[in-house]
Amino acid sequence: MVTIFGLTISEIMNIMVKEGVSIPLIQPLIDFLLKIPIIQYVVALILWKPVFAVLILPGLGGLMISLLFIIWFERKLTARIQWRMGPLEVSRPIAGLMQPMADGMRYLFQEVIVHRGAHKPYFVQLPILAFIPILLPIVFIPAGSIYGINSPYSLIITVALLALIPVTIIAIGWASNSKFAYIGSVREAFMYFAYEIPFMIMVLGMIIIYGTADMATIVEKQGIWGAFLNPFAFLGILITTAMATSRLPFEIAEADQEIAFGPFVEYSGILFGLVMTLAYEKMYIMGLIVSVLFLGGGGGPAIPLLGDLSPAIWLFIKALAVMMVMAFLRSIYPRYRLDQALRIGWNSLISLSLLSLVVAVIVRFMGGV
């Protein structure tokens, strides 16, 4: 008898099926697949809630869909506002929605050039290593009953892991060993400190309001959305999200017009595809955090046909909405200079975050949530 961690395979199967995601819409299909010998293990594993959270929604699958959608949406919306047409020729009937997919294909077949001056091992492995702090926070973000790890410190862990992403970007810039990449990484480091401190303070304020750092509890406690409880923190976190994901008023580290994508200037091929999407992936995670903290997380009218999937879908839609607002900023703002952005970060944003902390304390003393 084969045992894993002292459990037989049938016992493991029982656990996975019992803790599986139940979706009434496709339940007959799942029941049918669970009867087929080998496939039943794969299906049970994928539908097991922790694995489902990481692999499908709000995890990797949601990340990929939002990535493909938001890149198209950003280009299309910016084009619309600037009186252009945007991507159109690839898949004309659906208004060029396949364009990011086509770009991804192009990246796959393009030659990856590792230039002579690069620190080769770091240059090649850092874009892949950068995925660790991107995918790990998803484990802690709950979507209703679908979550990877339920921890009382999940919000703090998520924010801490998010703070690691700029470190990988700075390392990418250093490994590129080129002038523009160096300038880009230094700018990224400056920006990192300008937004991270107000961001942490505002998250702290929200923890004070809810009295817990457990995201599942935070979502449960939001009778009134956090955005109305502490509008200053909401505004501040939207601005810091724009800064953290290098959206346009603060697109200083990448600045494609002056330093040609900054830290990522030397990358080509699929490695460029990986590093270019870093900011969007970070935006997705921050969108999830914003929707958990301020927009009621997975809360929303339950759709009976989707069962357990309903809160996950709501969370995904809310995160996508936050990302769409961020994409909208690109089309209306020019870029701040580094010193202006740092002034905003160290002056206005810190004031705003302290104000939001005061509001949080007042809300807490008024009775909390």
Partner 1 sequence: METKFGRIKVLYPKQRLIDKIKGHVEALNAGLKEAIKPGRITIEYPRERRELPDNFRGFLLFDVDACISCFQCAFVCPANAINMRGAPNGRYYPCIDYTKCIFCHFCADTCPRGALHRTKIHDVAFSDMDEMLATTEELLKPPEMIREDKYLVKYEIKDGDIVLVKEETVVELAERPKFEIRPAKVSACAHPENCIACTLCVMTCPSNAISTKVENGRRVLIIDPKLCTGCGLCVKECPTCALALIER
Contact residues: partner 1, CB under 8 A: 77, 80-85, 88, 328, 331-333
CB of 333 to partner 1, least distance (A): 7
Nearer to partner 1 (CB atom), residue 93 or residue 223: 93
Rg of the chain (C-alpha set): 22
Nearer to partner 1 (CB atom), residue 119 or residue 330: 330
CB of 105 to partner 1, least distance (A): 24
Asked if 363 and 243 touch (Cβ cutoff 8 Å), the reply is no
User: Can you tell me whether residue 3 is helix, strand or coil?
Assistant: strand
CB of 83 to partner 1, least distance (A): 4
Nearer to partner 1 (CB atom), residue 88 or residue 362: 88
Residues 6+ apart with CB under 8 A from 339: none
Nearer to partner 1 (CB atom), residue 144 or residue 198: 198
CB of 332 to partner 1, least distance (A): 4
CB of 331 to partner 1, least distance (A): 6
CB of 252 to partner 1, least distance (A): 18
Which of 83, 15, 351, 8 is closest to 201 using CA atoms?
A: 351
The CA–CA distances, whole Å, from 278 to 138, 181, 210, 225, 273 equal: 15, 16, 30, 29, 9
Asked if 275 and 171 touch (Cβ cutoff 8 Å), the reply is no
Query: DSSP letter string over 245-288?
Result: TT-GGGTTTT-TTTTTTGGGTT--HHHHHHHHTHHHHHHHHHHH
Nearer to partner 1 (CB atom), residue 15 or residue 332: 332
Nearer to partner 1 (CB atom), residue 74 or residue 196: 74
CA distance 340 to 345: 9
